[in-house]
Amino acid sequence: MNIITFVKKYQKYFIAILLLSVLLIITRFIFSIDFHTLSTYLYETPEMFVLVIITSFLAYLSSARAWMLCMGNEGKKTSISEVFVFRHVGEMLGVFNPTSVIAGDTLKISYLSKVGITKKNGLSSILLMRMLNVLSAMLLIVISVIYLTFGRFNGSQEVVLFIMIAVAIAFGFLLAKYLLDDHLYFGKTVEKIRSKTKWSFLTEKMVEECYEINAIASDYYKDNKFKFLLAFLLLTLHWIFGAMEFFIVLRTLHIDISVVDAVAVEVGVTLFKSLGAIVPGQIGIEEYGNKVMLDVIGIASNEVWFVVSLVRRARQLFWLAIAGVFFLVISKKKFYKTI
């Protein structure tokens, strides 16, 4: 029995152990909270929540517009309002469904097919958007790592900022060359790793999919350079708008934090959520990620952590309710005629 088969067989037990461990750690944090201080912070919650909803809407809108650009000419068959709705329902399903992004993306493709976009083009647009999303995240990760390593301990902020930008741009060019070249270097690299290592999870089908993603990105870039770059910019803005959630909450609580700090925290928490994707809703995983990343930027207060986690979960529940409304609207055939 290989590792992948073993993990799949006992997946429920792994999830239970992981969830229990994280919840025990979080319980310890909660018991150390000063509830008098917490009550003072909670008075600020309504104001920050409204601002968080606005910035999260802008983040989702940026991502929806980027996805529409990834559809190329096929994007003319739909509208930004439809794409926003399709994306939002699919993403919410992906967060809370154990099969994660697979279930959400399958639903998106199904919705696109109802407005005249073929399943092949729908899948291509999703794969391209996922790749661009990873690229934009990697760009911000590079900036965040450099900033957290040097920027917070260096008085020459301008020099550090210049280095961060230069390294990020250089990294972006190299990665773009690697992924967008006609020679399909990404697919070839994965194939070479598979032949050298014989890792069981690197199946022939996965290698073929890597070649397919590589080819889709390369072809799209050649024919739609401006749309490609604009989609990349919009997905980068999507991450930054998401990071503004931390910025707004912490600033409202009168804690000094920069936008770069907020971006670093957002990227770090996203990595935690990715690692805990098998847990529906990343319950407990996200909260632990919030605590770790706030500690990294020097905010050790458990009261602040609790408010941040509370607001983020409230925002998620709000948009989950909106997704439920969207789902009911989509289910009606008249939706496609009136939207």
- Alpha carbons 51 and 158: distance in angstroms, whole number: 30
pLDDT-derived band at 338, boundaries 50, 70, 90: very low
Q: Worst-scoring range by mean pLDDT, 115-129, 159-173, 233-247, 280-294?
A: 159-173
**Cβ pair 86, 108 in contact under 8 A:** yes
| 144-185 pLDDT per residue, tens | 777 777 665 555 555 666 666 666 667 666 766 666 777 777
What pLDDT, on a 0 to 100 scale, did the predictor assign at position 158? 57
Q: What is the pTM of this model?
A: 0.77
**For 233-242, what is the mean pLDDT?**
92
76 closest CA partner among 42, 106, 121, 138: 121
Domain ranges within the chain, ordered by starting residue: 36-333
* Burial class of residue 152, CB neighbours in 10 A (0-12, 13-18, 19+): middle
With the C-alpha atoms ordered 101, 102, 107, 110, is the resulting torsion angle positive or negative? positive
pLDDT exceeds cutoff 50 at 337: no
| 187-219 pLDDT per residue, tens | 777 777 777 776 666 677 777 777 777 777 777
pLDDT exceeds cutoff 80 at 244: yes
pLDDT exceeds cutoff 80 at 90: yes
What pLDDT, on a 0 to 100 scale, did the predictor assign at position 163? 66
- Alpha carbons 288 and 190: distance in angstroms, whole number: 33
What percentage of residues in the chain have a pLDDT greater than 70? 70
Helix H or strand E segment including 137? helix 119-149
Residue position matching structure tokens 């000094």: 256
pLDDT-derived band at 55, boundaries 50, 70, 90: very high
Alpha helices, H only, 181-296: 185-197, 204-223, 225-252, 259-275, 285-296
pLDDT-derived band at 57, boundaries 50, 70, 90: very high
What percentage of residues in the chain have a pLDDT greater than 90? 12
